[in-house]
Amino acid sequence: MFRLRISSALLALVPCFPAQAAEGLWPFNQAPVAAFQAQYGFTPSAQWLAHLQGAAVNFGASGSFVSPEGLVLTNHHVVLDCVSKLSSAQRDLVKNGFVAHSHAEELRCSGDDATVLIDIVDVTTKIRAAEDSAQTDEERANARRGVITAIENTCQKEGGASQKCQVVSLYQGAAYHLYRSERYDDVRLVFAPEYQVGFYGGDPDNFVYPRFAVDMGLVRLYRDGKPVHPKHWLKIDPAGPKPGEILFVAGHPGRTERLKTEAQLRFLRDVQNPLMLAGIKRRIDVVLAYAKQSAEANRQATETLFGLQNWYKSLTGAQEALSQPRFFARKSQQEADLRAKSAGKVAGDPWEEMAAVVADQTPRAKLDWLAKFPYHGLLSQAGLLVQWARQSQLPEDKRLPEFRSAALPNTLDRIKTDEPYYKDLELALSLDRAKEAHELLGDHHPYTLALSGEQGNAKAFLSNIYAQTRIGDVAERKRLLAAGPAAIETSDDPMLVLARALEPIALESQQFTEDHIKTLISQAAAKIEQARYAAFGAAVAPDATGTLRLSYGEAKGYVEHGISHPWKTTVGGLYDRATSFAQQTPFDLAPSWRKARSKLNPDTPLDYVLTADIVGGNSGSPIVNRAGNLVGLIFDGNLASLGIYYQYGDDTERAIAVHPAAIMAALDKVYGAKNLVREMTPKQ
């Protein structure tokens, strides 16, 4: 295996790109340094790139080390899950915020972990050789799983429990890279502002600019009970950026769909996205109705509602981009050009092969949308337990990815997480899921029947399950894990009984995707990428995969619908916005900011926009300048940017960031966190 470390030799291989484009979420081993030089006259060194890579932290989204004591800067909405777990009716940290004035006051985030990328290894040849030796789709899927498992396990044994090894598919399976990361399972909350500060403007301002949110949070990584001392950390430059200078973003974008074929994107537009949007919307309605019941119900619903509304608005914007006639006109032309350039150079017609995959996906879309266990909640925990009990009995290369050795510690940590569960809220959502199953799959589908019970009365059936289950007790989940698969399979806990009924349906859905869809896509994609590389070389970045990527751009305002938007907003603008809306929710100021008004300079920059290529998952990404100093914190994009999932543009599409001056002013003047200010600005 050839280790793709950052090197001058590797950088020299990357060709020049069109000077007008800053497109691309680039793996660090494919950094487009020729484009940086051509557009901005700057070529980062191998050491510069290695420093930024080493300072970047994966915390479910993104973050970065900002002190030699393991302090990590990310977004408020990224740490919101931790803050919610630590909150109660008696101590509402979501509403009131949290500041630790010493290490002893820092609170552990149960079940959370973070990783830092060490290096990348190209393992495409090994995986392709294993696939090519097989004869059928099933054999190819098994061969691929087997070699990936072997690669990950070998890496894991070499690195030990403190490391994480993951084989990542790039270019839809045309290439495979092994990502080796340092893993930290002791994450502690250091700072989070009030929810009203981190998410100022609420859903109306989400994905909107101008923006006035201080969407920041701080956690600290520990190892063996002591703060870690990272080799790489970013110095904060409170002066921030200047318009027109090159800026770099290092983060973990979740996914893009830019390299999908026209047939695949039409499936998203016509089938999958509408199905998801309808499902998310009905969940939002359920949570809103629940939240209105009482102040405590509203508190319980806050994090769930934020996540659903954010997902819905993001997907709505992406769907609108797909629905524009000019989108597919451009996509069709691009595809036609590539097909013409590759005529006679690739075997068969991979675009038609992709269309055949879509034809297989379409009739399954409704079931595949519903079949997954929820990611959070009691049914999710029961599902994980049942899946672990069954998957652990299989040979490793036959297991689902999250139950193989490399990923298993994360999965078990999820099961062992000690967090509050709100049964009434979960019951309301489960009842709606049963109703959705009835509408999408019919009364007699096994999934619908499983959620309705023998008497066909979903309300009575599910109400009894939530009333009687013991799965919410972390000690019970740990007991079941220790007792082993047989104890889970024979338990009379009603939530486990339900999970055992649903698991075969979820498994069939996931296995069909793993064994059939991904295999066929990988084969066709390899041919398409062969054609793309022949036409354009390495000038096309792979789609985002949740792994560390580098993007770039500049701070720059824009004009939209005849309205000019400035490149930055100010603290004074925040107070003016609150006054203009007469302090009405969601534009009211938190008490801490009302009290601190006289201490703050109204001209202090608050948020700003830049042209860098970012998508969901980039939340918490550091923005650095040529000197490698932190000059911003990504937290959102504007509405126009939501189409970037499918095509990049820098006309009115913008990423939104918190300015470093606002970060430091908030910590110092509003929250009195002098200890954190000193730590983040050490004397040289």
**pLDDT digit string (tens) for 379-393?**
999 999 999 999 999
Give the DSSP H/E element, type plus range, for residue 505. helix 494-512
β-pair type (56-57, 186-192)? unpaired
443 lies in which domain range?
262-525
Share the mean pLDDT of the chain.
Answer: 93
Structure tokens at 100: 């630790």
The whole-angstrom distance between residue 292's C-alpha and the CA centroid of its chain comes to: 29
pLDDT, tens digit, 9 for 90 and up, residues 520-552: 888 898 888 878 877 776 678 999 999 999 999
Residue 3 has pLDDT above 50, yes or no: no
Please indicate, yes or no, if residue 550 is contained in any of the structural domains.
Answer: yes
**Token match 């590389």: residue?**
533
Structure tokens at 675: 């200890």
Please indicate, yes or no, if residue 582 is contained in any of the structural domains.
Answer: no
Please indicate, yes or no, if residue 145 is contained in any of the structural domains.
Answer: no
Write down the pLDDT at residue 174.
84
Average pLDDT of the segment spanning 285-310: 97
Average pLDDT of the segment spanning 560-571: 97
Q: Quote the pTM value.
A: 0.90
In order of 78, 207, 214, 276, 629, the CA distances from 59 in angstroms are 8, 22, 19, 26, 21
Q: Are residues 295 and 235 in the same domain?
A: no
Radius of gyration for the alpha carbons in the chain, expressed in angstroms and rounded: 25
pLDDT, tens digit, 9 for 90 and up, residues 334-370: 999 999 988 887 888 999 999 999 999 999 999 999 9
Average pLDDT of the segment spanning 406-431: 94
Q: Are residues 315 and 434 in the same domain?
A: yes
Do 194 and 282 meet the contact criterion of CB atoms below 8 Å apart? no
Write down the pLDDT at residue 427.
98
Q: Are residues 251 and 277 in the same domain?
A: no
Average pLDDT of the segment spanning 486-492: 98
Average pLDDT of the segment spanning 196-221: 97
Residue 134 has pLDDT above 70, yes or no: yes
- Partners of 64 in the β-ladder: 56, 73
Q: Are residues 233 and 306 in the same domain?
A: no
Sheet containing strand 114-122, edge to edge, reads 2-3, 114-122, 175-184, 163-170
Average pLDDT of the segment spanning 619-635: 98
Domain count, the chain: 2
Write down the pLDDT at residue 477.
98
Residue 555 has pLDDT above 50, yes or no: yes
Last residue within a domain, chosen from 470, 491, 525: 525
Between CA 629 and CA 124 the distance in angstroms is 35
Q: Are residues 95 and 20 in the same domain?
A: yes
Q: Are residues 249 and 280 in the same domain?
A: no
